[in-house]
Amino acid sequence: MKKMLFIFNPRSGKAQIKNKLMEILDIFAKSGYELIVHVTQGPRDATQAAATLGKSVDLVVCSGGDGTLNETINGLMELEKIPILGYIPAGSTNDFATSLKISRNMITAAQTVVSGVPYPIDIGCFCRERHFVYIAAFGAFTEVAYLTSQDFKNVLGHQAYFMEGMKSLTSIKSYVLRVECDSVVLEGDFIFGMITNTISVGGFKGLVAQDVALNDGEFEVLLIRTPKTPLDFTNIINYMFLKEEPNEYVHKLRTSCIKIFPEEPIDWVLDGEFGGSRREVEIFNLKKQIKILRNPQKKQ
């Protein structure tokens, strides 16, 4: 009998798995899986479960938001032989599910797990310590993701992010950095940086290119310099939301490896969760590291 480890966060999103759990388990059982079910109890629990129980199964499926997906992948990356991964989105934003075109309907996503095809995706390695699936970021807005309390998210869902985002607009911080990326070196004051492998960030599709491949071994990098005048601000907004050409305040790069050296430690966010306060950051792309099940009809 095929073995599946099913890890789920009971509190993700609006605890929406509550009413779907029986049906999801039934779909798995009917497809011939013997199930190990792990209900996460708090931070890093999904990582531990994937790293310890993941060894002995054919398939690991996780259900939760981007944070649970990130934790599960971090556990899988500790294994010598990485099992195939299935994902049932249940969080408030589900950026990566959007990129993979995995349904937000949990039952449809469970059906994709049992009938889907493995699709290899790149994984980001952060400071040779942690991994991320679709985004590593610092600066303006990024703290929104992890400072928004779980209870607040559960009640308001996606709106909670907007409300916290509005608050952080009034306190944008500037960071003095040196960035090394292939042959490019950038120095100066920056307010924001993101290294991504996704077509959706924070639920917005407009912030990143829509034609990115999730397994080409490269990240898309966006760095924004500190605006000094209202016109600078306008230039940045025009670029980000109206799709004008990059200007001197906006740097867009593609790379498999990037190093960032700030003068002061910077707080990082990995897949929407706190990634630590760091002085030196090296990020590189691990090409096609994990295979994730998705609908065979969906083209990237």
Ligand X SMILES: Nc1ncnc2c1ncn2[C@@H]1O[C@H](COP(=O)(O)OP(=O)(O)OP(=O)(O)O)[C@@H](O)[C@H]1O
In the complex, which residues of this chain contact ligand X (CB under 6 A)? 9-13, 40-43, 45, 64-68, 71, 91-94, 150, 153, 272-273
- C-alpha 52/C-alpha 75 separation (Å) is 8
Tell me whether residue 202 or residue 227 sits nearer to ligand X (CB atom). Answer: 202
Tell me whether residue 12 or residue 235 sits nearer to ligand X (CB atom). Answer: 12
Tell me whether residue 98 or residue 235 sits nearer to ligand X (CB atom). Answer: 98
Tell me whether residue 164 or residue 220 sits nearer to ligand X (CB atom). Answer: 164
Least distance to ligand X from the beta carbon of 246, Å?
A: 29
Cβ atoms within 10 Å of 166's Cβ, excluding its own: 10
Q: Which of 164, 264, 273, 280 is catalytic?
A: 273
Least distance to ligand X from the beta carbon of 89, Å?
A: 8
Least distance to ligand X from the beta carbon of 72, Å?
A: 10
Token output for 26: 């039934």
- C-alpha 256/C-alpha 265 separation (Å) is 23
Unique residue bearing structure tokens 């790149």 = 122
Q: Which residue is nearest to ligand X (CB)?
A: 65
- DSSP H or E segment with residue 89: strand 84-89
Least distance to ligand X from the beta carbon of 91, Å?
A: 2
Establish whether 273 is a catalytic residue: yes
Tell me whether residue 7 or residue 236 sits nearer to ligand X (CB atom). Answer: 7
Q: What are phi and psi of 230, to 5 degrees?
A: -60, -30
- C-alpha 190/C-alpha 224 separation (Å) is 6
Which positions ≥6 away from 274 have C-beta within 8 Å? Answer: 146, 267, 268
Least distance to ligand X from the beta carbon of 276, Å?
A: 14
CB of 55 closer than 8 Å to CB of 79: yes
- C-alpha 190/C-alpha 250 separation (Å) is 10
- Residues marked as catalytic: 273
